[in-house]
Amino acid sequence: MLGGRVQELGYRQEKKAKDLAADAHARRLRQVGMSALSKEARAQVTALARAGAMLNGPSCEDEVYQFAADLHAESPWMRDVSAWVMNQLLAHIEKGGCGLALPPVILAGPPGIGKSHFARRLAERAGTPSRLIDVGGGSAGFRITGTEKGWSTAQAGIPVETILSSHVANPVMVVDEVDKAGEMRSESGRSTSLTTALLPLLDAGTAPSFECPFHRLSFDMSRVIWIMTANDADLIPAPLRDRARVFHLEGLKGEDAVDHFDRLTTHCCDQAELDQCRAFITRMTETPRGISLRQIRKLVDALQVSTAPFGH
């Protein structure tokens, strides 16, 4: 300042100052490993670093009890899983933690009993994002870990992608049909497997410093919730079974199936038809194939159509 006035820089001095600032910024980006990121990816990572990531879910004992009660009310046939979730969260809070926190879990049982639905509802009730990863899709391993730049399909994995977009550290990853896990091969011939992709993310020792191949940065993935489903527990790769709590679930029992039907038909008033449906559902649960939630839903839809007022 001269005489109380701010002295403006000349063109050359201003350009030199900008160049020095740009060099310093580029040097800092190289130091932290962000120089190779695109402008969009860099903005995402920077925003997450500045704001941090939230932990959603129960934060006290009362909230845990209500959370578990709501899960049980919706899916009483999953009572063993709901009780385990409650005990895990209570222990977590007792240690001073907060938010949804669960070790990896595998729900193994016949199709149509609501395994994936239970996982998604758990996430919804905790207020945390959830993503469905279908093993049958053919590239689940690559979509979990991500792929390096230079590939035609280069992208971050679903877990990292979800944390970056939501700023939530404990999203729920629902991996469907892990009993179908096998080796996947990219267009360039590089192979991976679902098991190989999952192991560093399931392991408590490696998850806190998972290196994303797309961003080439380390991310703390230790609070990501992994819920895997399977129809046949015997076909689940041993390394996955060893790192997860496995629940062996049975088909729907008659009482639970009828209770679920009743919750879906609270507005129906033709008791004779309802009684016929309840009897049919009970008989189906006693057959070798049992009955699925989807079949019950179709039955409810057909019932609602048949009882709808004329012209609707």
Q: Which of 145, 295, 113, 124 is nearest to 210 (CA)?
A: 145
Kindly state whether residues 240 and 293 are assigned to the same domain: no
Write out pLDDT tens, residues 175-200: 998 988 755 544 444 545 788 889 99
The domain containing residue 244 runs over which residues? Answer: 61-248
Please tell me the total count of domains within the chain.
3
Write out pLDDT tens, residues 209-225: 998 888 888 899 999 99
Q: Report the mean per-residue pLDDT for the chain.
A: 83
Residue 124 CA: distances (Å) to CA of 74, 121, 130, 178, 184:
13, 5, 8, 22, 31
Kindly state whether residues 174 and 221 are assigned to the same domain: yes
Quick count: other Cβ atoms within 10 Å of Cβ 292? Answer: 18
Mean pLDDT of 3-23: 61
Residue 6 lies in a domain: no
CA 186 distance to own-chain centroid: 24
Write out pLDDT tens, residues 222-273: 999 999 999 999 999 899 999 999 999 999 999 999 999 988 888 776 788 8
Residue 114 lies in a domain: yes
Residue 87 lies in a domain: yes
Write out pLDDT tens, residues 109-132: 999 999 999 999 999 999 999 999
Residue 75 lies in a domain: yes
Residue 148 lies in a domain: yes
Q: What share of the chain is helix, strand, coil (3-state, %, to 5)?
A: 50, 15, 35
Residue 2 lies in a domain: no
**CATH code, 77:** 3.40.50.300
Q: How far is Cα 126 from Cα 242, in angstroms, rounded to an integer?
A: 26
Asked if residue 307 has pLDDT above 60, the reply is no
Residue 267 lies in a domain: yes
Q: What is the pTM of this model?
A: 0.80
Q: How far is Cα 291 from Cα 103, in angstroms, rounded to an integer?
A: 30
Kindly state whether residues 144 and 100 are assigned to the same domain: yes
Q: How far is Cα 186 from Cα 195, in angstroms, rounded to an integer?
A: 16
Residue 217 lies in a domain: yes
Kindly state whether residues 184 and 112 are assigned to the same domain: yes
Q: How far is Cα 256 from Cα 293, in angstroms, rounded to an integer?
A: 11
